[in-house]
Amino acid sequence: MRRAAILAFIGISIAFLSPLRARAQEQQKATTNAGAGTPVLVDADELQYDQDLGVIVAKGHVELSQKDQILLADTVTYNQRTDTVTASGNVSIMQPTGDVAFADYMELHNDMRDGFIKDVRLLLSDRSRLAGNTARRAAGTRTEVRRAIYSPCELCAQDPTHPPTWQIKAEQAVDDKQLQIIEYRDAIMEIDGFPIFYTPYMSHPEPSVKRASGFLAPTIGSDPSNGFRVGIPYYWVIGPDKDATIRPLFTTEGGEQLNVQYRQRFGNGTLRTDSSVTVGSTSVNPRLVDVNAANNSVRGHFIVDGIWDLNDRWRTGISAEGTSDQTYLARYHFPYTSNYVTQHVYAENFGTASYGNISAYGFQNLNPTYSIANQPVVLPIASYTLTTPADALGGRWDISGSALNLMGRNGFKERRLSAGTNWRLPFYGPLGDRYDFNASLRADEYDSDFTVAAGYPQNTTAIAARIFPQMSLNWRYPWIRPGEKVTALIEPIASAVAAPNGGNPASIPNEDAQSFEFDETDLFQANRFPGYDRVDGGIRVDYGIHAGLYNPTAGNAQILIGQSYRVRRESAFPLGAGLDNRRSDVVGRVIVSPGRLFNFFYRARVDGQDLAMRRQEVGLSGGLASLNGGVSFITASAIPGIPSVLPTKEISESLSFSLSPNWKGTVSNTQNLANGSSSVSSRLQLTYLDDCLSVTGTISQSGITFGDVRSGESFVLTFVFRNLGDVSISPF
């Protein structure tokens, strides 16, 4: 039982103390300076002092504190003349960094900053462990451990003697707090007790370090397009607000590549860049018939993402991607999400009820059937929208304006000014039905230059103006039948739209409304064309029905089906879009969501004349947290009179599963069923994950071949070691 706590003067003032032996029930306190050092606080069950030898011995639950270091032991001896502290029996010393050293015996000097430790066990600030036979402590910042073992992994609770998931054994390990690095010499990496590889030297940042410059784990592998590849990335901490990753890559068939990723954080924003250059790469123009017509040239790409807040209402940014050719991104596995890349620079203003934007755009088409260089540049495009408060009738005004300057690289140019206003008024009828009334007016002015190079018979400058008024009234009448368990809804919907016929003369070019396909999301839209260049004129009626079953716990099921009827026979929409005839195609969707475990959807477009199926898409997903998956199927038929539109039929399946808390995996596959059955892509991934190690094996297959991108299989094995980083290996 602890009863005595003694604070002793050690140093000059100790000479004035009489010899003292503390009894179990006594409490005495004092403070001291160790020579010219810092006062030491000693707390113990028993204290002995030999004035002739200048030695103090503390026994029983000893706690010795100096500065922000705390030493605990069964017995501590301090020699005043040699300034030496010796501790034995259940010794532990806590450092200001959060590290704790455990040992059977310690001998410390110089305010406990230097010394020798036997059978040392270090618990670092992130709970990783470093142990060894002996250790030497220098200047309070450097600990050299002999016959060392390091691991950040927790030991097995059932069998603590079992080796951790992974560990490093080395002849010497040095934990240098000043350099903020842990170094190993003659080191062997073990996984589950089995030696994996040997290295004469390795290092990694000290656990308290968030970022540190140095080489990262190498990337080793192969793929069908580039052959064998190897790279050793380097991470560079440029400053407290910026860093970069430099990734040289050497391949047997794809040349040499240098990839640099740069990141910087500002007080008002962020910037991220990703760029690469490749030499010695053989590229094939996918539009050439002769696939052997290759050229060796410098290839590369860039990605820039940045955003900055200028003040409370203004911000500016850039989101840009660019590439040297159409196959580069796919061949070297850089991420991209569509068949074109965009360069976008912008500034935007956020008002209480307004929004303004001024932007510049550039485009590159990755579709191999088109030239990557023959794409327009938009410099600039500006828009502004203002919404007014509700007026006396409950309606609101939307006022908008837009300006565009488009420069085609084939000589075509377009300049456009647009201004418009829209008044919308929602209200309820006497039967509980709901109405939405919209009245809009838009004025457009175009100044365009058409050139022979663009396919026109002669160079032409055209000035055109358009005023387009439009009114629409949307009506819906929800019939609701509440129930104890299920609430039923039947809601007929109708919309009448009126606008002048035409409005799309040949003197107004079509640049932003070339792609359109009618579906249920467009059914009740007043102007169904995207962009500004085309308007949806004439008089028409849209009609449909929406029905559903709803349960607060069991989910819901919904269906929407509808059609549009146009008074005028002529159509401004492209052939095959679903609006070719006065009576449009029938569009609809079905959604079934009975709770969180199951989801089903079905979308379709049926020819309005002969009820032939034009397009349908079905998807099913669901499952438990440990086992879930999905399947989707899409098919689109050929369009009569348009031989360039080929039928499409594709199915995709995916499955995610958890075999245990540590094991999980995914399987996915996409098949093209249009002509027989051919694989587009497939993937199998299995992952092991615990507190300090992640191992992921991925087998993937691509059936896509164009230009210098080749189809084939690949296997990648990725190890992520806590505190060390990751390494990827592809055996073939």
| DSSP per residue, 156-181 | PSS-TTS--SEEEEEEEEEEETTTTE
d(CA 130, CA 573): 72
Beta bridge partners of 401: 384, 419
DSSP element (H, E) containing 600: strand 598-606
Q: How high is the pLDDT of residue 296?
A: 58
Q: Which long-range contacts (CB under 8 A, 24 or more apart) does 106-109 make?
A: 106/71, 106/73, 108/71, 108/84, 108/137, 109/82, 109/83, 109/84, 109/85
Q: How high is the pLDDT of residue 155?
A: 84
Residue 434 counted as domain residue: no
Residue 693 counted as domain residue: yes
C-alpha dihedral, 37 to 65 to 125 to 210, nearest 10°: -40
**Neighbouring residues of 356: CB distance < 8 A, sequence distance ≥ 6:** 348, 349, 382, 383, 384, 385
d(CA 99, CA 116): 17
- SS3 for 576? coil
- Specify whether the CB–CB gap between 632 and 654 falls below 8 A: no
d(CA 325, CA 340): 11
DSSP element (H, E) containing 330: helix 328-331
**Neighbouring residues of 213: CB distance < 8 A, sequence distance ≥ 6:** 234, 235, 236, 237
Cβ burial of 648 (10 Å; 0-12, 13-18, 19+) is: middle
Query: How many domains is the chain built from?
Result: 2
Closest listed residue to residue 18, CA positions, set 58, 59, 60, 47: 47
Reading phi first (left if > 0) and then psi (alpha if -120 to 50, else beta), residue 255 is in left
Q: How high is the pLDDT of residue 600?
A: 94
Residue 333 counted as domain residue: no
Q: What's the chain's length in residues?
A: 732
Amino acid at 160: P
- Specify whether the CB–CB gap between 497 and 472 falls below 8 A: yes
**Whole domain around residue 630: which residue ranges?**
612-705
- Specify whether the CB–CB gap between 271 and 243 falls below 8 A: no
First to last CA, the chain: 67
| CA 64 to mean position of chain CA atoms | 49
CATH number of the CATH domain containing 136: 2.60.450.10
Closest listed residue to residue 628, CA positions, set 651, 659, 597: 597
Residue 57 counted as domain residue: yes
* Last residue of one domain, picked from the residues 187, 212, 237: 212
CB atoms within 10 A of CB 212: 14
For 323-341, the pLDDT digits (tens) are: 988 888 888 888 877 788 8
For 349-404, the pLDDT digits (tens) are: 999 999 999 999 998 888 777 777 778 889 899 999 999 999 999 999 999 999 99
Q: Is the pTM of this model over 0.85?
A: no
d(CA 93, CA 102): 7
Tell me how far CA of residue 394 lies from CA of 469, 477, 526, 531, in angstroms: 22, 20, 21, 29
d(CA 410, CA 396): 43
Residue 516 counted as domain residue: no
d(CA 358, CA 378): 11
Kindly state the tokens that stand for 25: 């029930």
Q: What angle do CA 345, 262, 717 make, to 5 degrees?
A: 115
Beta bridge partners of 629: 622, 655
Kindly state the tokens that stand for 273: 């860049």
Kindly state the tokens that stand for 676: 């027989």
Residue 663 counted as domain residue: yes
Tell me how far CA of residue 553 lies from CA of 489, 556, 634, in angstroms: 17, 9, 31
Closest listed residue to residue 321, CA positions, set 310, 337, 308, 307: 337
Residue 680 counted as domain residue: yes
**Neighbouring residues of 84: CB distance < 8 A, sequence distance ≥ 6:** 78, 107, 108, 109
Q: How high is the pLDDT of residue 283?
A: 61
Tell me how far CA of residue 580 lies from CA of 538, 574, 608, 609, in angstroms: 14, 7, 10, 10
- SS3 for 108? strand
d(CA 727, CA 233): 10
DSSP element (H, E) containing 257: strand 256-266
Beta bridge partners of 461: 449
Closest listed residue to residue 648, CA positions, set 680, 607, 670, 615: 615
d(CA 720, CA 15): 59
Q: How high is the pLDDT of residue 732?
A: 57
Strands 725-729 and 219-223: parallel
Q: How high is the pLDDT of residue 21?
A: 31
d(CA 218, CA 65): 45
Residue 295 per-residue DSSP state: E
d(CA 135, CA 114): 11
**What average pLDDT values come out for the chain (732 residues) when binned by 10 residues?**
34 30 31 50 86 85 83 88 86 86 88 86 89 88 92 85 90 90 93 90 85 82 81 91 94 90 95 93 54 61 95 95 87 81 94 95 82 82 95 93 86 90 94 94 90 55 91 95 91 96 87 85 91 92 96 89 92 86 94 87 91 91 90 84 72 92 92 78 90 88 73 81 80 60
Residue 218 counted as domain residue: no
